[in-house]
Structure 1
């Protein structure tokens, strides 16, 4: 999947202001607070740079680019900058999965082992050390809806807060997969690790959507890059989104930055700045996509418009509304069933999770200035979006910084967007 254009000379990824903020219910001076707040992050070195967009009624009312995409080379963030989506890949894969569900390819109650037999042998961690864990049989198998809701019991290797996570890390599954292991091979390995909990009983950030991506490969007979291209990226005209970047476009990509232990300024994280310039062996359905602000805005516009964009319908409006409901066990919020607070989100109180998106269960309980009807998601690399079908707003913030839990960026961003609504 290449970052290519029919005519590169004339291609401009510019997102232009399409509506006056005041006519769209925003106060321009209040929107300026968003820029002022995050400009301070760039000025004192906490972030290398950022890009943000706010739209309402499918019209862009505010867009900004600040700082550097490449600090060391002095290259500024601009409209053409390519960002590492990280976990913002997950909503795209979730939409693709539900598009196949609409075609009768599977049932949400189907066990994952129907598509990946190795998961028929997966056990659940009870206690014990990494080298000799005691495990139980699952009360029920991991089902497809468990993957979509992150309630499968799967985890990742970078948390290192539980013996199972050390098992992932010791086998080379920290941020990615070991060399020469593809998505199918990774799923075979993950099926061999115990689950953190019984499927469907708790929520945990992990490789659930990567496994879902492998299910889509099995269902379609195609690799996940082709699945996403055929179902989502090509129909939406997302020509700047893919799992790798052509050599000619590498100067447009933001490396990943992390805080310097001495002073906290953002410094390049070479370990996590690996940039594939050809098709990688491991295609991470949970976090492997690169994109531009313009491209991801097209995806969010489709969500805002109930599954359709510019005359092209990807998914049914009822299906999308179903995805936007809270699907956590017993209708609980993430504070009750989530394993940990993460990624610059100060609380999980009042927040739920649907089929691929975070939802709002109780706005007052969140103690966050967010809309009760929004769907959203964010990543460990400082990328976040929210879509509110009632207020008819879209908000996107991209940077390239980890660990984002260092700063309350996601809560601040949504707070600053919503305080600017005055109609």
Structure 2
């Protein structure tokens, strides 16, 4: 990699901070296991002036999903569950399922449907949704406050409440970004006999040396926990970036002292983890190098393959997604590039990636042996096109 070209990332990051788009941010790149770039700039807390540094603890939100997906595949490898099993084989609350009829305008317009499989839940094809998506089911989820957020009830109770609602569509019919991997988190608990935080710690975090990642801010790290900001006037998780703008592009919506991540009630396998950039790089490197004993290299290749009939766009989604939909497939817990030209972002075939609602992002490039992690704390992640720009900057440094 051309170091002079990599250094273009520094002024690009600084511009985001100077223009008050991001409070602060960090970028960490490794190639072939060797660190080739790191830079930090800006603040983790604007009010106090505390810097956004390498040891800053941040909300990674949906970058939790690949961790939960790996946990599922560990259980699959051990023969404790299989991906085509219906959810009801583990979670009886899903035994009788209904889906909204095509064109439904109210939540009671339903028909019987099959029980979604674990594979459909982990690939967002089960028929679940998110409150911020458009449609009848998302509206009902919003009214019921079903987001699997840290401040909700316990994971078992939230999952049971979700099972009372119909699916947005017949399982397997479409792709829609959803709480499916939160449900998988509950599956991991039941199959393993451990709470999700205990499984993650004993089976993933401790073996990889991820000492500062968890569902709660680590002991002694509260002073390093970043504040969360939004450019929106209300609804920090809203995806309507065309309106509802705040006069302050960095309106603070969560501070360390009052954050639900101090003592979360729901262990969200879809979005509940906090941690440092170096910790998440350890996870990325485990995926890049073949599992480091957590799972086999063969299982990882299976995870990072496309599990859809075509790209995401071919499955007609209307939902929000952390990635482009054209030219992009979806594996077990993350997106995979099928055709870089169709994604309109410089990338490699086989790139595996995902992001979080606070604008964090990672990708693994098997072709160039690259692991890349970007941290900031601004929601929603659709506010600015930083992810595509960062990938272009990195590819601009490749020969």
**Range of TM-score over shorter length:** over 0.9
User: For residues 45 and 27 of structure 1, what CA distance do their matches in structure 2 show?
Assistant: 29
Q: Is the 8 A contact 1:245 1:276 kept in 2?
A: no
Counterparts of 1:177 and 1:84 in 2: how far apart (Å)? Answer: 11
**Alpha-carbon distance in 1 for matches of 2:230, 2:256:** 10
Contact 2:346 2:391 in 1 (8 A): yes
Deviation at 1:82, TM superposition (A): 0.2
Question: How far did residue 364 of structure 1 move?
Answer: 2.2
Q: Is 2:245 the partner of 1:265?
A: no
**Distance in structure 1 (CA, Å) of the matches to 2:91 and 2:371:** 36
Question: Is the alpha carbon distance of 1:338 and 1:291 closer, same or farther for their aligned partners in structure 2, counting shifts above 3 Å?
Answer: farther
C-alpha separation between the residues in 1 aligned to 2:203 and 2:396?
Answer: 36
Alignment of 1:360-371 (within 5 A): 360-371=337-348
> What is the aligned partner in structure 1 of residue 297 from structure 2?
317
Structure 2 partner of 1:11: none
Map 1:107-122; keep pairs closer than 5 Å. Answer: 107-122=82-97
Q: 1:141 aligns with which of 115, 120, 124?
A: 115
TM-superposed CA distance for 1:248, in Å, is: 3.3
Any idea what the Cα deviations from partners look like across 1:295-319, whole Å, max 9, x if unmatched?
11111111110111xxxx1110000
Matched, 1:298 2:282: yes
Gaps of 5+ in 1: 1-25
Question: Structure 2: how far apart are the matches of 1:59 and 1:122?
Answer: 49
Structure 2 residue aligned with 1:230 = 202
Give the unaligned 5+ runs of structure 2.
233-244
**Number of residue-to-residue matches in the alignment:** 386
| Structure 1 residues 39 and 89, CA gap change in structure 2 (3 angstroms) | same
TM-score (norm 2): 0.92
Question: RMSD across aligned C-alpha pairs, in angstroms?
Answer: 1.9
In structure 1, what is the Cα distance between the partners aligned to 2:97 and 2:301?
A: 32
CA distance in 2, matches of 1:280, 1:337: 35
TM-score, L = length of structure 1 = 0.87
2: CA distance, partners of 1:100 / 1:32:
42
Question: Would you say the 8 A contact 1:112–1:143 is kept in 2?
Answer: yes
Distance 1:167 1:119, change over 3 A: same
The aligned residue for residue 374 of structure 2 is 397
Once the 2 structures are TM-superposed, how far is the Cα of residue 388 of structure 1 from its aligned partner?
1.4
SS in 2 for 1:137: strand
1:341-374 C-alpha deviation (Å, 9 max, x unpaired):
64664x3110000111100122222221011121
Q: Is the CA contact (8 Å cut-off) linking 1:108 and 1:144 kept in structure 2?
A: yes
